[in-house]
Amino acid sequence: MKIVVISDIHGNYDALLNFPEDYDQLWVLGDLVNYGPQPGEVISLVQNRATYVARGNHDHFVGFGEPPRCAPQFQEMAEATWKYTDGVLTEGDKEYLRSRPLQVDVWVGKIHCRLCHGIPTNPPFRQHPSADRDWDDECRRVSADILFYGGGHVAAGRKSRSTLLVNPGSLGQSRCGEPVASYAVLKDGKVSLRSFHYPVGLTAEKVRALPISASIRSELINLLRTGVVRQDSTPAVTVGRMLHQAR
């Protein structure tokens, strides 16, 4: 069975629509909405295709009105696009976001996977720890063989204790230094990180038409076209490698 894991679509329907691979199951780690121009279309496609969907902090923001507690450089951007997103979604769309679980446990054969946005002790808000000992503390409380976690928008994979930690990166708003859509694949007990190019220019033109301030539109378009956060020192991560063979 081939499982595709995606996260942080953020209303980028063009990236989702141009996904290049077939799969047996689609797992989504949250943040379907905000920042992007087509949140309703994203929700509709995910509803039709995804097997499991966890709630992200921006889904929670749109569904419940609770601020997403994102990094300072994104707070104004999140607030401005929330007003747009809230205005174009139906009540049914918002109820779908509200009803998504904060964590999902899935078994693929004998492999136990946990899906969440952020980290398991405080989804969907808490940021990912940087220190190894902090990840060890998290994994001590998680019995999963693989922890798939969203947020951060940069693909990553590492082992902590007996748990493989996998962030598939962002499908809709890359922050890895390249204008690509990133995702993970779980197949035959192995996890790989992959990416693809999509028509970023088309998405940028849709952002340019959003009823938000010109400065925020410019920031969003720059991020889409470059994959670089201004005044951000996060190192780029190259995707497209095999991570690990699970038990």
Q: Which residue has the higher pLDDT, 214 or 159?
A: 214
Asked if pLDDT for residue 244 goes beyond 90, the answer is no
Where do the structural domains in the chain lie, given as residue ranges? 2-245
At 215, is the pLDDT very low, low, confident or very high (cuts 50, 70, 90)? very high
Q: What number is the average pLDDT over the span 130-137? A: 66
Q: Given this structure, which CATH class describes domain 2-245?
A: alpha beta
Q: What number is the average pLDDT over the span 30-42? A: 97
pLDDT one-digit tens code per residue, 92-123: 999 999 999 999 999 999 999 999 998 877 77
At 132, is the pLDDT very low, low, confident or very high (cuts 50, 70, 90)? low
Q: Provide the pLDDT for residue 243.
A: 53
pLDDT one-digit tens code per residue, 16-33: 999 999 999 999 999 999
Which residue, 131, 165, 168, is CA-closest to 153? 168
